[in-house]
Amino acid sequence: MPQSTRYRGKTGQWAFILHRVTGFLIFLFILLHVVDVAMVNFPSTYNAIHRLYGNVLLRLFEVGLLFALLFHSLNGLRVVMIDFFPESIRNERMFFISVLAITSLLTIVGGVIILKPFFTGSVG
């Protein structure tokens, strides 16, 4: 087995687990989301559901969804890069830390925007 493709655990293993968990959660959300959007032909039901999404618990859930989307996207890029450029596995740990850092930063920025209306009371 070539050195470059050998499985080494450690950060790669955490990346793998987080990729699975976030992917599975996003899939469950898609199932729910297709059903709630299908209510668009029943306007009062649709609008009631989307008012519900303004609730603080569901806003926190949206921040979680943002984290999952960002991590799965950026880690997916990392996976694609390692697949197509196997030499880049040397910097695997650095890439994983970058993925986590960018994901966290964007989740915090997006999270503030998503949660702010609830605390200022401007909507929902």
Partner 1 sequence: MQVGFRSVNLSHKKERQNSGSRQNFEIWSWFFMRISGLVLIFLALIHFSMTHIFTDVTQTTVSYVAKKWANPLWRVFDWLLLTLGLLHGTNGVRFILDDYVRNAKFRAGIKATVYLISFLLFLLGTVTIVTFKGSIA
**10 vs 51 by CB, closer to partner 1:** 51
Spatial contact of 84 and 76, defined as CB atoms under 8 Å apart: no
- State which of residues 18, 69, 82, 99 lies at the interface with partner 1 (CB under 8 A): 69
Determine, following the binding rule CB under 8 A, whether residue 37 of this chain makes contact with partner 1. Answer: yes
CB-nearer residue toward partner 1: 70 or 89: 70
Which of 68/96 has CB closer to partner 1? Answer: 68
Binding-site ranges for partner 1 (CB under 8 A): 20, 23-24, 26-27, 30-31, 34-35, 37-38, 40-41, 43, 46-47, 50-51, 53-54, 59, 62, 65-66, 69-70, 73, 76-77, 79-80, 83, 110, 113-114, 117, 123-124
